[in-house]
Structure 1
Amino acid sequence: YVGRIREMMDKSERRRKNGKRLTLGVRVPESLHACWLAGVDIETWVKKGWIDFVVISTWNNTDPQTPVDEFARFTRPAGVDTIVTMGNMIGSFSTGPPIPLDRGVATSAEHAKGYMSMLLNTAEARGAAANFYEFGADSISFWNVGAHFGRAVTAAPRQRKRIAAWTRAVRSRETVFAGPRTYRFLPMGKGISRRKPPFRNYPWYDEGSSALGHKNSPTLLFSDDRIGKRLVFPFRVADGRRGERLSGRFRFWFYHVTGNDRVDVDINGVPVDKKYIRRIPAGKLRGGLTGTRFEIDLAHCPPFRGDNVLGLVLGTREKRPHVPMMEELEVHVTAVANSRSVSGLSSPPAPRRSR
């Protein structure tokens, strides 16, 4: 079908006076797995020369873990522009708890409390876009951002100002790396199983998956049979991916765990010395659940490598009313070693082949 469209466009092109190729672009689900679920063979379309640009799209949110590189592997050698969508929401489908208490203006007046209420701020937009650009995107597009203007409840002046700030911040590599970046990782698919028809009409409803069927960041559950075992949380961070030393903060929330529980922490298999780990009650920033927030200065973190894993071992075995869980990670970068500011890390784009 797509091949026939390309053939039709090429015939029309030959009849045009300027003889220029007619542009054909497609918007596809956020991963190759999700594309296959939808019956979209995007790699074949690109390799056959049918497509001029590809827009990789989540469902109305911004996910910093979007696997742009899966597409860039074949789009960039073909000279096909690779574009990633960003939505106004950073959270998942979960209505809580936990309840974010520190979002300020980046909180939705329309949605229920919980992760679902979390809207993008400028630093989070920069963090996500840094991943997109550094792992193969040529540019950014927006999903549903225009819906938050006009008379909508989400269109208050301060919200329009917030949206204007983050959309300007991601317009290029240079603007992305010109300011602090927050990489926030949440269980994007949490709560989707409760949104089946007639409430919503999504293509996919498996818990832990996006509305398009892509497996998102996990919730780590430390049930009795997992006490003493290492569980891992994957996270992608463009900053420090070549081992550069970073300045800033690394923190995660571990619910139903107290300050007295034994917790071993590693990053990419390298243990983090406990003397560098601060433990703070979760309720200071996240309400509705008991737990502990763990914080580490990035200067005391083992080197990053782009695609990273946080390893956790809960060593205390005891009866608890709830299963301990970890599901939110934040990496806030303020500076990169050997750089005058937070800028300077971005590598130049890969050479493009003219079509």
Structure 2
Amino acid sequence: MKAPEDTPATVPAAESTGVPTALSSREETSQEKPRKWILHAWDGVTMWATILNVNYYATPNREIPGPPAKFSKRILEELIDEEAAAKVDAISYCLFTAFWSDIPSSKVTELFPWRPPGMDKASVDCLEVLIDRCHHHGMQFIADIRMNDRHGGPRKGLAKEHPEWALLGSGNDFAIQGVRDAMLTFSSEVLDTYDVDGLEYDYMRWCHMFQPGQGKQNAHLLTDFTRRTRKLLDEAAKRRGCKRLALGVRVPQNIEECDYLGFDLATWIKEGLVDYVVPSDFFHSDSNMKTEDFVKLAAGTNCKIYPAIHPMISMDGPNEHYRLMSLPNYRAAAQNFYGFGADGISPYNYQRAFGRRATAHRASSSPAWMWPASLGWLRELGNPNEVQQRDRHYLFYSIYKKPRKSPTGFSNDDNIYLDRSTPVLEGQRRFRMAENFSNQKLRTTIQFKAIGLSRDDSLKIRINDVNVPIDYISRVHDRNGQNVYEGDTLPPFDLFVIDMNWETTGRQQPLTFGDNRLSVELVPADGVTGSTPFRFVEMVLGVQADDQEGISNVDLNGYLDDFATWSRILSDTEIRAIREQGLQGVGIGSLKPDAPNLAQLANDLQVLYEFEKADDPGWNSATNGKSASQVGPSGALVGQDTKSPRIGTGAGDFTADDATLKVHPDDMQRLMRDATGDLTFSYWFKATSRSANHTIWGMSNEPIPSPRFSTNQSKAMLATQTIEAVTSGQALLGLVRPGENKTARTEASLIDGKWHHLAVTIDQDPGRGQVTGQMFIDGKPGSKAVLGSQSTRLGSRRVSIEELECYVYVRK
């Protein structure tokens, strides 16, 4: 597929050097730029179900008047009519996902369960309705195929008959000939059945066609697959008497990632196999993408480049569902893409802009009236002149904040991180703006958020190696941080705002067309400050009763025995001795104080749940101990298991869903009475599920159920221990306090249905503000989690520079 003949693609003036040259302000305003191609990727049923929701979302959003097929046909046609009014050039419609499809006659897929009301019963094909309406408006209809969707669920269609095809759960391994043949069979079915204008292979669902790390060595298989697809398309075009049917591919926005995954774009383009490429993140808009890398591959060919734009901004917690791209954000992304040679853009998941049509959530940025109003944005974005004449708001957020990674396996985190314990307290990051900053009609403002500064810390800021004068910098401290409805949840931060109108004082601002560099140096304040104590008010076993993710949304499914907690650090020798005695059936309450390794074991023992009383499973047999309370919702209770306890005659039975014990407040006060807050936990654990994760205990500085961590990062202190059911099994210890969180991981086979001894020590260093948590698995020391030295200097140990934004105001 290519742009209309009367709208040739714009070529950067300095293409030979790979760096576009900014136009003069006069040329900028007088030269009309050709319209760009808009390829709207419909998420299939999700797109029309947002308007016509009957069985896709939880609750229908309308009643269907009779006859239902006529009504559904009208709605589908109106959807296309609105796209045409917005000057959308083509619809790329997802009609295949994980061997589900919209083709009733397919021999390799099952029919999607979500269908427009009444149409199947009336023998009206919804795809034919959409295709005919597109062609009525002179629009193209591209059949989009999600190449390896892994949303989960049981295998479907032909894949159900071939469990040996499985890849990474619910995906399929394209190294297997049968998988590639099945996909080609489906492509052939589409071309034989419908008057589509081409195919699009969406490799961004789910990126990996082969085992991770085997993409490069198998790239030739996908290239051969692409050649065979091209042959199918050419044969279909010949049958129809048309010149060519398009083949597009949706791939990662980074050439390195494409190569790693086995997408040999250079060959696909050079051999004329593909007509367009859509560089795309999995879920988010990336204004920093190097569009020119793809444009260079397509130079001298008919292949077009249409970078993707997404409503979502970043992946840090639930923010993606609450704050979406605004029109000035989209303009900025389009400006960057066009400035480096893109032939158009491709909106993806765009239905989120009006998601409230179908389902209620609190995203103020996606109100119901945005359909069809948001399509008007696409009409504007297709016109580079309109984009250039209006304000543009660039967002340079971390799309996958470390340690998160994209589904491709790559990180995309350009934030600046400064560690006070290192000698170098300076960092840099790249940000791209395809702007002519010599144009006097542009007024630019830059801002970022600095996390971890004290009041007396300062920053030296440079842009492109030019010091930013202090008279153009403002700084505001936000002690409340940022909640989920404002963006990524953040602890307290300092907002730095830089005005770039330096000409008012006779200085030249340093911003330039294309890539710029922000450098930040931390200048720490003198002196020290006291550390934030790591303290808790409540603790539960069998987390969590309400599944609200305050501590964890994962429950314990198994048994505990001899659960003990001390308000001190036990030695390695003591921990080993407890296990060795337990293997002989001797519990902590029965140990004799004259044993050499156990002489001090009763000291500072605050909690001991032996689970020996059927009528009181939470009985605390430690001196002055109080019974734990049952707090599981809906009557879920912790019981006593007498069949096979590890110690004594009973074990705690936590197999009931959400069964939870809460430590008595008096016992928590005794645990926390020491200013140092040192703790040791010791217990026996046996899992009843080998496929589920188990959160065994959790502590919080808030009453439990505690607020969701995603909305409470600025205040939360948490400690949790979880057993993960990964391939080899893992024990996790998580420690969280404002501005810091660490997780220790130790591989261990703990979900084998056998009893295992676990221990955890939490050691606080009040002088340095350091907290060290260590696990012990079956008597052996495991990994450590360390929260850093807060008190070595003012502020947090780590300072981060996040959420860089640039606003370009266009003066009229």
Common fold: TM-score over 0.5: yes
Distance between the aligned counterparts of 2:458 and 2:423, measured in 1?
10
- The amino acid that maps onto 2:340 is F
Aligned to 1:289: 491
Q: 1:3 aligns with which of 223, 227, 244?
A: 227
Distance between the aligned counterparts of 1:257 and 1:26, measured in 2?
45
Q: 2:385 aligns with which of 164, 174, 183?
A: 174
Q: 2:457 aligns with which of 254, 261, 278?
A: 261
- The amino acid that maps onto 1:93 is M
Aligned to 2:298: 75
Distance between the aligned counterparts of 1:249 and 1:285, measured in 2?
22
Aligned residue pairs total: 302
Q: Output aligned runs, 1:50-65, within 5 Å.
A: 50-65=273-288
User: Structure 1 residue 312 and structure 2 residue 520: aligned?
Assistant: yes
Instruction: Say if 1:289 and 1:39 are closer, same or farther in 2 by CA, change over 3 A.
Output: same
User: Which SS does the other structure have where 2:307 is aligned?
Assistant: strand
Q: 2:348 aligns with which of 103, 119, 143?
A: 143
User: Which SS does the other structure have where 1:7 is aligned?
Assistant: helix
User: Structure 1 residue 331 and structure 2 residue 331: aligned?
Assistant: no
User: Which SS does the other structure have where 1:303 is aligned?
Assistant: coil
User: Which SS does the other structure have where 2:292 is aligned?
Assistant: helix
Instruction: Say if 1:320 and 1:257 are closer, same or farther in 2 by CA, change over 3 A.
Output: closer
1:227–1:315 Cα contact (<8 Å) kept: no
User: Which SS does the other structure have where 2:450 is aligned?
Assistant: strand
User: Which SS does the other structure have where 1:249 is aligned?
Assistant: strand
Deviation per residue, 1:143-198 (Å, 9 max, x gap): 1113545413366424547734543432221232131000011111027xxxxxxx
User: Structure 1 residue 93 and structure 2 residue 315: aligned?
Assistant: yes
The percent identity for this pair of structures is 27
Q: Output aligned runs, 1:1-355, within 5 Å.
A: 1-18=225-242, 20-90=243-313, 92-95=314-317, 112=318, 114=319, 117-146=322-351, 148-149=354-355, 150-153=357-360, 156-160=367-371, 163-164=374-375, 166-190=377-401, 207-226=403-422, 228-240=424-436, 244=439, 246-283=442-479, 286=482, 288-300=490-502, 301-316=509-524, 318-335=793-810, 341=812
Distance between the aligned counterparts of 2:479 and 2:253, measured in 1?
33
Distance between the aligned counterparts of 1:23 and 1:33, measured in 2?
25
User: Which SS does the other structure have where 2:328 is aligned?
Assistant: helix
1:9 positional shift:
2.9
1:121–1:162 Cα contact (<8 Å) kept: no
Instruction: Say if 1:167 and 1:89 are closer, same or farther in 2 by CA, change over 3 A.
Output: farther
User: Which SS does the other structure have where 1:4 is aligned?
Assistant: helix
Distance between the aligned counterparts of 1:226 and 1:162, measured in 2?
51
Distance between the aligned counterparts of 2:446 and 2:421, measured in 1?
28
User: Which SS does the other structure have where 2:332 is aligned?
Assistant: helix
User: Which SS does the other structure have where 2:501 is aligned?
Assistant: helix
- The amino acid that maps onto 2:360 is V
- The amino acid that maps onto 1:94 is D
Distance between the aligned counterparts of 2:410 and 2:379, measured in 1?
28
Instruction: Say if 1:310 and 1:324 are closer, same or farther in 2 by CA, change over 3 A.
Output: same
Distance between the aligned counterparts of 1:7 and 1:266, measured in 2?
54
1:294 positional shift:
0.9
1:71 positional shift:
0.5
Distance between the aligned counterparts of 2:418 and 2:342, measured in 1?
36
1:278 positional shift:
0.9
Distance between the aligned counterparts of 1:281 and 1:227, measured in 2?
26
- Structure 1: runs of 5+ lacking an equivalent: 96-111, 192-206, 342-355
Q: Highest CA radius of gyration, 1 or 2?
A: 2
1:272–1:302 Cα contact (<8 Å) kept: no
User: Which SS does the other structure have where 1:264 is aligned?
Assistant: strand
Distance between the aligned counterparts of 1:29 and 1:311, measured in 2?
28
1:125–1:169 Cα contact (<8 Å) kept: no
Instruction: Say if 1:78 and 1:236 are closer, same or farther in 2 by CA, change over 3 A.
Output: same
Distance between the aligned counterparts of 2:416 and 2:284, measured in 1?
22
2:480–2:492 Cα contact (<8 Å) kept: no
Aligned to 1:200: none
User: Which SS does the other structure have where 1:324 is aligned?
Assistant: strand
Instruction: Say if 1:156 and 1:37 are closer, same or farther in 2 by CA, change over 3 A.
Output: same
1:325 positional shift:
0.8
Aligned to 2:87: none
Deviating more after overlay: 272-281 vs 255-264: 255-264
Distance between the aligned counterparts of 2:501 and 2:495, measured in 1?
18
2:418–2:426 Cα contact (<8 Å) kept: no
Query: RMSD over aligned Cα, in angstroms?
Result: 2.6
Deviation per residue, 1:272-297 (Å, 9 max, x gap): 11121111114588355222111111
1:258 positional shift:
3.8
Deviation per residue, 1:213-241 (Å, 9 max, x gap): 44424232211244653200211111136
Distance between the aligned counterparts of 2:259 and 2:236, measured in 1?
30
2:427–2:519 Cα contact (<8 Å) kept: yes
User: Which SS does the other structure have where 1:286 is aligned?
Assistant: coil
Distance between the aligned counterparts of 2:392 and 2:479, measured in 1?
24
- The amino acid that maps onto 1:290 is P
Instruction: Say if 1:209 and 1:14 are closer, same or farther in 2 by CA, change over 3 A.
Output: same
2:312–2:320 Cα contact (<8 Å) kept: no
2:336–2:434 Cα contact (<8 Å) kept: yes
Q: TM-score scaled to structure 1, two decimals?
A: 0.76
Higher relative contact order (CA 8 A, sep 6+): 1
1:330 positional shift:
0.7
2:474–2:497 Cα contact (<8 Å) kept: yes
Instruction: Say if 1:46 and 1:260 are closer, same or farther in 2 by CA, change over 3 A.
Output: same
Instruction: Say if 1:248 and 1:86 are closer, same or farther in 2 by CA, change over 3 A.
Output: same
Q: TM-score scaled to structure 2, two decimals?
A: 0.35
1:16 positional shift:
4.4
User: Which SS does the other structure have where 1:49 is aligned?
Assistant: coil
